């Protein structure tokens, strides 16, 4: 499920967008605290940000450059000048839509940006579960605005647990995921890697993310 974070100070429009996008099958994260938007974007690791420009205390244009490296952006604004559109696109926005928007057009543009960025019909670059965001290409895990780097084995373990979040993953399945033609993985090696992974998650404020189910395996 793709995640869309909405940065919109008008509560009526924010609720309308939330309802619309949830009905389309997206996970929606509406922002109501506009002082910490970059931190919220980094913590949520969304597939797309819908960004209004006329925000309280901060110009939305300044946010484009700040969050562009984290997520794709579509500006949804009442500003209709060509200069504002040009500035937004130059600062990293992937698209620019003016209000009042046409709903089918808005949805089509959202799908187009997600498709271009790999958020639809592509192998996911990231996994999200239990408050964690795992980047498969960067080899990092994020939670609460903090990020930790993972080893190859830690990445494989966490990816398998997150892909089956809420379910018990047998130790044998984890050992099989870690094994390759050069390195033999035994039960003790798995335990060591899980302990190290737990330590890194604890540093992110998630000390109890991985639970041991005795005689069965591990569960996220």
pLDDT tens by residue, 153-170: 898 899 889 888 889 999
Q: What pLDDT does residue 181 have?
A: 42
pLDDT at 51: 92
Lowest mean pLDDT: which of 38-52, 91-105, 125-139?
125-139
Share of the chain above pLDDT 90, in %: 30
Closest of 126, 117, 114 to residue 21, by C-alpha: 114
Mean pLDDT of the region 104-120: 82
* Angle, CA 127 vertex, CA 106 and CA 220 arms, to 5°: 135
Neighbours of 191 (CB within 10 A): 12
Q: What is the per-residue pLDDT for 102?
A: 86
For the segment 193-207, the average pLDDT, to the nearest whole number, is 92
pLDDT of residue 124: 57
Q: What is the pLDDT of residues 16-68, one digit of tens each?
A: 999 999 988 898 999 888 888 888 888 888 889 999 988 877 778 888 888 88
Name the DSSP letter for residue 85: H
Q: How does the average pLDDT of the chain come out, rounded?
A: 85
Cβ pair 64, 93 in contact under 8 A:
yes
Tokens of 158: 């966490």
Instruction: Please give the average per-residue pLDDT across 119-127, as a whole number.
Output: 58
> What is the C-alpha to C-alpha distance for residues 66 and 68, in angstroms, rounded to an integer?
6
The confidence score (pLDDT) of residue 211 equals 93
| Three-state secondary structure call for residue 213 | strand
Question: What is the DSSP code (8-state) at residue 182?
Answer: S
The percent of the chain in helix, strand and coil, each rounded to the nearest 5, is 40, 25, 35
> How, if at all, do strands 58-59 and 73-77 pair?
unpaired
- For position 19, what pLDDT does the model report? 93
pLDDT at 208 > cutoff 70: yes
User: What is the separation, in whole angstroms, between the first and last Cα of the chain?
Assistant: 18
DSSP 130: T
Residues 6+ apart with CB under 8 A from 97: 74, 75, 76, 77, 105, 106, 109
Residues 6+ apart with CB under 8 A from 68: 91, 92, 93
């Amino acid at each position: 499920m793709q995640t869309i974070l909405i940065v919109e100070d008008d509560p009526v429009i924010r609720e309308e967008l939330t309802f619309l996008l949830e009905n389309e099958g997206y996970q929606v994260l509406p922002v109501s605290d506009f002082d910490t938007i970059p931190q919220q974007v980094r913590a949520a690791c969304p597939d797309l940000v819908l960004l209004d420009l006329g925000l309280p205390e901060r110009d939305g244009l300044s946010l484009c450059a700040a969050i562009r490296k984290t997520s794709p952006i579509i500006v949804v604004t009442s500003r209709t000048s060509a200069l504002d559109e040009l500035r937004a696109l130059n600062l990293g926005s992937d698209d620019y839509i003016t209000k009042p928007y046409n709903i089918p057009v808005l949805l089509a543009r959202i799908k187009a940006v997600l498709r271009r960025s790999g958020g639809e019909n592509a192998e996911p670059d990231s996994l999200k579960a239990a408050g964690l965001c795992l980047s498969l290409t960067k080899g990092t895990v994020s939670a609460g605005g903090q990020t930790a780097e993972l080893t190859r084995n830690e990445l494989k373990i966490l990816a398998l647990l997150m892909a089956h979040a809420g379910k018990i993953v047998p130790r044998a399945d984890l050992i099989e995921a870690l094994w390759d033609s050069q390195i033999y993985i035994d039960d003790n090696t798995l335990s060591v890697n899980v302990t190290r992974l737990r330590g890194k998650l604890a540093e992110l404020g998630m000390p109890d993310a991985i639970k041991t189910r005795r005689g069965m395996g591990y569960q996220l």
